[in-house]
Amino acid sequence: MQYLLMIYQNEVEYAKNDEATSQKMLAEYQTFTQSIIQSGNFKAGDRLQPTTTATTVRVREGKTLTTDGPFAETREQLGGYYLIEAKDLNAAIEIAARIPSARIGSIEVRPIWVYDK
Amino acid sequence: MTPGEIDKIFRDEAGRALATLIRLVGDFDLAEDALQDAFAVALERWACEVPDNPRAWLVNVAKHKAIDRIRRQAVFRGKQHALVHELELNALGPGEPIATLDDDMLRLIFTCCHPAFAPEVQVALTLRTVCGLSMAQVARAFLISEEAVAQRLVRAKQKIRLAGIPYEVPEREALAPRLDGVLAVIYLVFTEGYVATEGADLMRPDLATEAIRLGRLLNRLMPDRAGITGLLALMLLHDARRGGRQTPAGDIVLLEEQDRALWDRAQIEEGLRLVEDALRVPGRPQPYAVQAAIAALHARATSFEATDWPQIAGLYEVLLRINPSPVIELNHAAALSMVDGPARALDLVDAIAARGGLRGYELLPAVRADLLRRLGRKAEAREAYRAATEATQLEPLRRLYARRMREME
């Protein structure tokens, strides 16, 4: 099965990290990503720019409405994701728990919708 | 055989038959529907003759019903041939090794208590599928509507399928935390049976009985685990006092007022043996085993006054080290009041209250009220009993506090 692992954390707090801490985190992410590439679980993954760069788009009565910022103000923001292939939810949870940000923020594990052929 | 007797066999075998069926057909809903079909057939046929092995009979008939259902259902088209073929290979003979069937039961328990479900969903799933309670019984147990239960179960089974929750017992390092989750569900069912959250009745004995049944099952399936044995002992010892805990009119009889001759001696003996077993398992002490040891000291005491309060207070200190929580602190304070007196205990309780860790926990004002009453500080005690009354939705508790306030006039 495929799962999207969405990485949520408080981006304002995270931005306060000093250079050494940021570098260490980056290195941990590289190690983690390498490990799930090697194990064959990795499908895709990216880090996102902060929500200050976000734009929200809606179309109402044919008109495109554009607003500054994310759709909802929350304590933790979506900061990145991995798309993985895993045997079942337990395997997906095990991988999610190894994402470095799981220790400071939280990871939402969502199965990918599969359309019946 | 009468329909009543057949119904009892269904009750006893439903969980186990379902556990095996789910493994064979790989789908909760299909397994449940097929088992219902098999029950309907059994009701007709068993009136004349009951098979030697009712469970194997039920599983085999249900399996054929599942094959019929797969053939009828468009959803399975395409996969149909492979599935039916696999099912036909998986015939369950009367000689199926017990170990496989036990594993199925464990798989079912661990799946129902998966941490991906909210606690109330875990409880509903476990009571419905493992214990075989009807939707109406689950609804009544938690004072929610049958519709709400049905909704909860439909969503849960959908999640099992769509999120890929595996039908398995976790291995190695994953097992211990998951087992803790299973025990928490069983204990949640038990505590609701021991002291209900709300309503007219202090206890819901049917829930306590179900929890003990689950505890026994788990203790047999996974022997020599101090947490399981300890929890079973704890539940048996608490439940053994059932007969003494309320008047025929449903009023609470406090521990110090209870007629200990009304306690179930045989059940206490069993609980005491299990506490010994739990404490003998090597490894660090398990919270449930320590709590059971406390319950054992209460059960052994010939009277309230003769209770070994210093040892009980000491065991609460052990609990505070291995499993600290404000609830345990509160219990510790109450026990300590019997050793060092209510004044010292009141200091502890006020310190817990000041930290705010127990905000909303209804027993804190009750414990405070009792200590103030024993100290003769009547006005403050009355105030605390009023707060305790506000904090509970359980009528017998409210009557108890009212009685205490009357006694102080």
DSSP SS3 for B250? coil
CA distances (Å), B215 to each of A79, B189, B204, B263, in order?
43, 11, 17, 21
Cβ of A89 and B170 within 8 Å?
no
Predicted TM-score of the model (pTM):
0.85
Q: What is the pLDDT of residues B7-26, one digit of tens each?
A: 778 877 888 889 999 998 88
Domain extent listing, chain A = 2-48+75-111
Cβ of B116 and A93 within 8 Å?
yes
Q: How far apart are CA A102 and CA A108, in angstroms?
A: 10
Instruction: Among B78, B164, B174, select the one facing A89 at the smallest CB separation.
Output: B164
Fold classification of A2-48+75-111 (topology level): Alpha-Beta Plaits (3.30.70)
A97 touches B at CB < 8 Å: no
Q: Which of A97-101, B13-17, B154-158, B371-375 has the lowest mean pLDDT?
A: B13-17
Report the share of chain B in percent with pLDDT over 70.
92
Cβ neighbours of residue A31 closer than 8 Å, sequence gap 6 or more: none
Tell me the pLDDT band of B179, cut-offs 50, 70 and 90. Answer: very high
- Which residue's entry shows tokens 């941990």? A28
B174 touches A at CB < 8 Å: yes
Q: What is the pLDDT of residues A66-95, one digit of tens each?
A: 999 998 888 999 999 999 999 999 999 999
Q: What is the pLDDT of residues B84-126, one digit of tens each?
A: 666 666 655 555 566 677 888 899 999 999 999 999 899 999 9
Q: Count H helices and E strands in chain B, helices first.
A: 19, 2
Q: What is the pLDDT of residues B267-306, one digit of tens each?
A: 999 999 999 999 999 988 899 999 999 999 999 999 999 9
Q: Chain B: residue nearest A117 by CA?
A: B78
A99 touches B at CB < 8 Å: no
Q: Are B371 and B347 in contact (CB under 8 A)?
A: no
Distance of residue B75 Cα from the nearest chain A Cα, in angstroms: 9
User: Mean pLDDT throughout B153-169?
Assistant: 93
What pLDDT is recorded for position B76?
56
B314 touches A at CB < 8 Å: no
What the block records as the tokens of A52 is 């200050």
What pLDDT is recorded for position B49?
85
Q: How far apart are CA B336 and CA B342, in angstroms?
A: 8
User: Mean pLDDT throughout B376-398?
Assistant: 94
Q: Decide if pLDDT at B173 tops 90.
A: no
User: Mean pLDDT throughout B347-355?
Assistant: 91
Cβ of B174 and A111 within 8 Å?
no
Distance of residue B103 Cα from the nearest chain A Cα, in angstroms: 18
- The DSSP line for A17-66 is --HHHHHHHHHHHHHHHHHHHHTT-EEEEEE---GGG-EEEEEETTEEEE
Which residues in B87-113 are b (16+ Cβ under 10 Å) and which e? beeeebeeebeeeebbbbbbbbbbbbb
**The complex's ipTM?**
0.88
Q: Chain A: residue nearest B173 by CA?
A: A94
B319 HSE (CA, 13 A, CB side): 24
Tell me the pLDDT band of B247, cut-offs 50, 70 and 90. Answer: very high
What pLDDT is recorded for position B363?
84
Q: What is the DSSP letter of B200?
A: S
B82 touches A at CB < 8 Å: no
Cβ of A111 and B164 within 8 Å?
yes
Q: Decide if pLDDT at B186 tops 80.
A: yes
Burial of B223 (C-beta count, 10 Å sphere; 0-12/13-18/19+): exposed
Q: What is the mean pLDDT of chain B?
A: 89
Cβ neighbours of residue B74 closer than 8 Å, sequence gap 6 or more: none
What is the phi/psi pair of residue A110, to 5°? -125, 130
Distance of residue A2 Cα from the nearest chain B Cα, in angstroms: 9
The number of residues in chain A equals 117
Q: How far apart are CA B57 and CA B307, in angstroms?
A: 52
Q: Decide if pLDDT at B152 tops 60.
A: yes
What pLDDT is recorded for position B90?
62
What the block records as the tokens of B105 is 């039961």
Q: Decide if pLDDT at A44 tops 70.
A: yes
Q: How far apart are CA B120 and CA B114, in angstroms?
A: 12
What pLDDT is recorded for position B198?
84
What the block records as the tokens of B138 is 């689950």
